[in-house]
Amino acid sequence: MSRLILFNKPYGVLTQFTDRGTVSPRPTLSDFIDLPGVYPAGRLDLDSEGLLLLTDDGRMQARIADPKFKMPKTYLVQVEGNPDESHLAMLRGGVDLKDGRTRPARVERIDTPDLWPRDPPVRFRKTVPDGWLRLTIEEGRNRQVRRMTAAVGLPTLRLVRWRIGDWTLDDLAPGIWREATPSPRGSPPPPRTAPRRPATG
């Protein structure tokens, strides 16, 4: 049976198991997940947080990651500025980026969500307001959400992926993973974590 892993990727962790070609190695998935044969289904930027799916099934990996399957992905986005209906309308209508117009997004303004503190904390400017959006897209372009919010005048301060298809973070803490059934129905086992590897000098 295929394995499906839900992982809450912390800020600053690479979505790969090794960090090649850097003078100072950065945290990778191998610092948190010690499971042979599983690989990320899609990516999540170094400076983004939240849900990452891993599987040992190539077909499932493609269904999750390939944009042609249009699997929706939902993000909680903290933006600089005060989002209003004009901003939301632009995002819902599709945004012109350098690599073409995006598909329409589903987006709404939300109250500040009850999330874990980010490490390092988000830098704020006291004179500039900020707000939160719940934004769902069905594409997977490079840094797409950040580019979309910037294009409508709302630079992203913090980005947390909360949902992929029917799988969500729920109460999964940063750096913790759990195994789920490939079908989102059913009860997954309780969260687990692998100890972080000691730093080497």
Non-local (6+) Cβ contacts of 81 within 8 A are 87, 128, 129, 130, 131, 153, 154, 155
Contact call for residues 46 and 13 (beta carbons, < 8 A) = yes
Contact call for residues 56 and 174 (beta carbons, < 8 A) = no
pLDDT tens-digit series, residues 52-105: 999 999 999 988 888 777 889 999 999 999 999 999 999 999 999 999 999 999
Which among 85, 68, 23, 73 is positioned nearest to 48, based on CA atoms? 73
Q: What is the mean pLDDT of residues 151-167?
A: 96
Residue 199 binned pLDDT confidence (cut-offs 50, 70, 90) = very low
Which among 138, 133, 148 is positioned nearest to 73, based on CA atoms? 138
Mean pLDDT computed over every residue of the chain: 88
Domains and CATH numbers, the chain: 1-68+169-201 (3.30.70.580), 72-164 (3.30.70.1560)
Structure tokens at 120: 């390092």
Round the CA-based radius of gyration of the chain to a whole number and report it.
17
Residue 192 binned pLDDT confidence (cut-offs 50, 70, 90) = very low
- pTM of the full predicted structure? 0.87
Q: Which of 45, 56, 57, 119 is catalytic?
A: 45
Note the pLDDT of residue 175: 97
- Say yes or no to pLDDT of 190 above 60: no
The yes-or-no answer on residue 45 being catalytic is yes
Residue 2 binned pLDDT confidence (cut-offs 50, 70, 90) = confident
Residue 22 binned pLDDT confidence (cut-offs 50, 70, 90) = low
